[in-house]
Structure 1
Amino acid sequence: MNRRDFLQLSGLGTAGALMLPTFPTLGRAVAPEALLESPLDVALKKRLADAALNAATAKGASYVDVRIGRYLNQYVVTREDKVQNLVNTESYGVGVRVIANGCWGFAAVVDAKDEAATARAAEQAVAIAKANAKLLKEPVQLAPQKGFGEVSWKAPITKNAFEVPIKEKVDLLLSVNDAALKNGANYVNSVLFMVNEQKYFASTDGSYIDQDIHRIWPIFNVTTIDPKTGKFETRQSLSAPVGRGYEYLQANPSDKVTGVTTRYNTRYDMLEDATAAAQQTKEKLTAKSVEAGKYDLVLDPSHLWLTIHESVGHPLELDRVLGYEANFAGTSFATLDKWESKNFKYGSPQVTLFADKQQEGSLGAVGWDDEGVNTKRWDLVKEGTLVNYQAIRDQAHIIGEKESHGCCYADSWSSVQFQRMPNVSLAPGKSPLSVDELIKDVQKGIYIIGDGSFSIDQQRYNFQFGGQLYYEIKDGKIAGMLKDVAYQSNTQEFWNSCVKVCDERDYRLGGSFFDGKGQPSQSSAVSHGSSTARFNGVNVINTARKI
């Protein structure tokens, strides 16, 4: 696909361009009705998989796994009173990965619905593995994994987003835009992203796993201009991308978190948020510009998820630690010697950061990963000390693990699966603590809500983060809105400055719908949870442009 066709298909020449750091493999454009066609019959998928397993084994493979995938995407893009793009895509095919002569090999075939095609792909994968083996320095060491037989997992959705009429989705987005404009915004764009991954995995371990995964992300961006000065302010939606169905957009009062602005938990009110965003951008135009200096920061989960993602999730990917990602994504300051010391203080005693692919409603939730490993939870940082990394089957032995952590993923049937970030989250505080109680003894602080621009170095150590909304805290009380705020720190200093974390009542998920990694680049979706947390003595800068 050439660049012009890609832009036309994806809508990146419009509102979506500013919202996406990495765009996923799309597939071929189809009619919306095609997205509602029934998945491939499980019995047929098993026959296709068995043909590949048998063919690869016959050619000398010591291990084989087969992934049969149907990937559906629908994106609705609007701006003000116009629909700018409607994207419906489908991608279907089979990928076969093998170990032969101690080396990996991979091949894939598009639209394969007969056993001869999957068998040919398997034979090609074995031939590639044997060719690769001529340059092999040491054989692949694959952690053992029991087979699960014929099993399945489905995302616990109650309303399939693909079954909702497009008109209803368009009407929602246009009403969101209208609400923002009526409340003073000059410009607004909104997008609704919906994904369904229908994935089947089979391996010589004896697993035949059928999974149905759903994700959704409603997002908007509001801009308000001061007509006298020409200055402008923006505010992005406070929605979180989630592993849920269309029910996510049917909010009720119990899903709302009140305070200086309304935030959301397992459901989201897009219309209400757009109304508030327009009003807040007007307020930001006249807000006080922050004075640079040291502040105690109170960080809402809608903001803190991104700091977790960049300063914890990425540096604790074992392939990155080992240097495998150095050419593209960088390395990690959290080197093996720090972990081996058993006393590296990643954060304060209040900081326990855990990984998982099980949290209901999270982007990373599945029953089994793309190597057929059942998912679980494990600690990365426990009470401040670095205790583990994220590892898959061919990495587990490097850190003395007997089994994979279950965090292997490929974004397509045509992509090779590799280690991807699971959900990584900050554990809630153990003692009862509300946000108001967290704030009441802050003398000089800033309360930050929503994620914004950021920068972090290639070792994931020195960084700078902004947000969407900033509120000054004076003598334990909210004193008014601020603007031009960003904080700077390094990963170890920042997490060691954490002094308090609110309890589980405040725990919420944020996340990245399009997280890029690898060469060729792949996109994955991952959630990060936390309760509101306080970090003392963090350096804050003023980001206002001086012209």
Structure 2
Amino acid sequence: MERRDFIKLSSAGMGTLMLPVSGVAISADQLLDKPMDVTYKKKLADIALNAAKAKGATYADARIGRYLNQFVTTRETRVDSITNTESAGIGVRVIANGTWGFASTSNMTPDSVAKAAEQAVAVAMANSKFQTTPVQLAPVKGVGEVSWQTPIKKNAMKVPIQDKVDLLLSVNDAAMQNGASFISSRLFLVNEQKYFASTDGSYIDQDIHRLWAPFTATAVGEDGFKQRSALGNPVGMGYEYLDGLEKDKVRVQGANVGYHNSYDMVEDAAAAGKQLQAKLKAKSVEPGKYDLVLDPAHLMLTIHESVGHPLELDRVLGYEANYAGTSFATLDKWKSGDFQYGSDIVNLYADKNQPNTLGNVGYDDEGVKTKEWDLIKDGILVNYQATRDQVHMLGQKESHGCSYAQSWRDVQFQRMSNVSLRPNEKDLSADDVIKDVEKGIYIAGRGSYSIDQQRYNFQFGGQLFYEIKDGKIVDQIEDVAYQSNTQEFWNSCSQLAGKSDYRVGGSFFDGKGQPSQVSAVSHGCPTTRFDNINVINTARNV
């Protein structure tokens, strides 16, 4: 079949990828159908809220959602699949007898919506027999009728499929022409059209867009194979991230290309092909202690696993345990007021208002206006991430605004906010961070990782590794992974680059909960140095 015919005929076959997405198959044109009128959304929401109150709910919220996805996947010179899906419906959450209840429906008629609200109350009433402590919500003042939209410049859903396929196949060609033996490339586009209403008096309409363009290239040599994944970031932006409208790119040490607000995917793929050939010839690392200089495209994952997850309050309290464990950062450490999570230059904060990030929204899924707050201040643990029904456990009166549900049919719960490392107040470059390193390793890109059930002991790999000698990057090396524990690692942080080097990476499909849900979250940081870290050789497993 010719490529153009495939593009015209392809539908929502998901056989090539097990994607965490639900919905019905639609055409690419249907992705652009006009959203439900906001007046009708308000009418349905009021029906749900009034029906819940009539049945005895003391609080209720309704989320009307239309979730759109387009996933394009390619392999070398062919298109593997083009997936377009839509999922729409309403979820109603209530408190009755001091207990949560939830129900949902995809039938958006007044009668069906009212019945869902009544069912949510019935669920709460049934559950209340087992509730020992009533739900306690932090107050939220209703905001009336408001709207928020991801500030995109070019709606990726409107870009023709042909253009997207041409881009991905150009990426594949660039990698193959420069040394890759195989490559798969993908484009993930998400549009969440979400309407939230509550008995607090909020009616919030949000239009959220996210984009991710990953690839994985492989080169085969005489002694085996090597892989390198894309170094671009998943973003809360439109297609301007990929087509060069935002020309804001920073080169880092000649080792890779770091991206602020644009991504030259073809250039990255060409570099990947060349770097794969170098990886096949690179010497294997000698195990031992090294000073590590970590690029933001790598450090973002370490932040995600060793800071973002362990400071989710539900993990700290043990409410979240089966899916990837609890947390070592228990309340007694926070209450002491002097728990040294990191060195005194380590300042980590949560902020869902960071522009172009995956977690950037105006309001969370409880109608709480998003904000910024400190988690680690001058190395000391000062706060967690919590929702309306959790913050009273910290003696706080205001939700942090980090509630999220992956769809209208899922109940919202505490999810990680954007968690980031503040850059140096001095605008130091990556060169400045490297210049005093006598024996070290520079690491770029996220690789394999492992962390224990308390988010404490861990091991991280990467994509690219370069030896540092006497303040200079020298040879490319291979088979690197570092081991540490969260407190030891962050206390070894000795230098940070400044604002001009600060970049944001992220996780597009971050899993949590049972039944499991995915969310998207970003992590920003500058190039950062960590001293005297144990490095093992993964080929020798030492």
TM-score normalized with structure 2 length: 0.96
Q: Partner of 1:465: helix, strand, or coil?
A: strand
Deviation at 1:253, TM superposition (A): 5.0
Contact between 2:74 and 2:168, CA under 8 Å: does it hold in 1? yes
Deviation at 1:452, TM superposition (A): 0.3
- Residue of structure 2 equivalent to 1:311: 306
- Residue of structure 2 equivalent to 1:255: 249
Structure 1 residue runs of 4+, over 3 Å off?
8-11
Contact between 1:190 and 1:218, CA under 8 Å: does it hold in 2? yes
Equivalents in 2 of 1:412, 1:284: separation in Å? 41
Equivalents in 2 of 1:321, 1:183: separation in Å? 47
Deviation at 1:136, TM superposition (A): 1.1
Q: Partner of 2:57: helix, strand, or coil?
A: coil
Deviation at 1:184, TM superposition (A): 1.7
The Cα offsets for residues 31-64 of structure 1, whole Å up to 9 and x where unpaired, read as 1111010111000000000000111011110000
Residue 140 of structure 2 is aligned to residue 138 of structure 1? no
- Residue of structure 1 equivalent to 2:49: 53
Residue 204 of structure 2 is aligned to residue 242 of structure 1? no
Equivalents in 1 of 2:352, 2:257: separation in Å? 28
Alignment of 1:427-506 (within 5 A): 427-506=422-501
Contact between 2:457 and 2:484, CA under 8 Å: does it hold in 1? yes
Equivalents in 2 of 1:103, 1:10: separation in Å? 40
Q: Partner of 1:93: helix, strand, or coil?
A: strand
Q: Partner of 2:298: helix, strand, or coil?
A: helix
Query: How high is the sequence identity, in percent, across the aligned residues?
Result: 66
Q: Partner of 1:262: helix, strand, or coil?
A: strand
Deviation at 1:258, TM superposition (A): 4.0
Q: 1:101 aligned to 97, 100, 109, which one?
A: 97
Deviation at 1:423, TM superposition (A): 0.1
Structure 2 gap ranges (5+): 1-10
Equivalents in 1 of 2:323, 2:518: separation in Å? 14
Contact between 1:25 and 1:411, CA under 8 Å: does it hold in 2? no
Provide closer, same or farther for how the CA distance between residues 89 and 545 of structure 1 changes in structure 2, counting only shifts above 3 A: farther
Equivalents in 1 of 2:367, 2:374: separation in Å? 21
Q: 1:223 aligned to 207, 215, 218, which one?
A: 218
Partner amino acid for 1:247?
A: E
The Cα offsets for residues 119-154 of structure 1, whole Å up to 9 and x where unpaired, read as 111011011101111111110001110000000000
Deviation at 1:545, TM superposition (A): 5.0
Equivalents in 1 of 2:185, 2:295: separation in Å? 23
- Residue of structure 2 equivalent to 1:70: 66
Deviation at 1:275, TM superposition (A): 0.3
- Residue of structure 1 equivalent to 2:532: 537
Equivalents in 2 of 1:460, 1:259: separation in Å? 31
Equivalents in 1 of 2:76, 2:433: separation in Å? 39
Equivalents in 1 of 2:248, 2:507: separation in Å? 24
Partner amino acid for 2:50?
A: N
Deviation at 1:445, TM superposition (A): 0.3
Deviation at 1:326, TM superposition (A): 1.3
Equivalents in 1 of 2:523, 2:396: separation in Å? 24
Deviation at 1:327, TM superposition (A): 2.2
- Residue of structure 2 equivalent to 1:36: 32
Number of matched pairs: 529
Deviation at 1:522, TM superposition (A): 0.2
Alignment of 1:130-529 (within 5 A): 130-226=125-221, 228-229=222-223, 231-251=224-244, 254-260=248-254, 261-529=256-524
The farther-off stretch of 191-200 and 263-272 is: 263-272
Give the RMSD, CA atoms, in angstroms.
1.2
Q: Partner of 2:214: helix, strand, or coil?
A: strand
The Cα offsets for residues 380-431 of structure 1, whole Å up to 9 and x where unpaired, read as 0001000000000000100011010000000000000000000000001112
Partner amino acid for 2:163?
A: E
Equivalents in 2 of 1:258, 1:340: separation in Å? 40
Provide closer, same or farther for how the CA distance between residues 111 and 24 of structure 1 changes in structure 2, counting only shifts above 3 A: farther
Equivalents in 2 of 1:475, 1:179: separation in Å? 34
Provide closer, same or farther for how the CA distance between residues 486 and 369 of structure 1 changes in structure 2, counting only shifts above 3 A: same
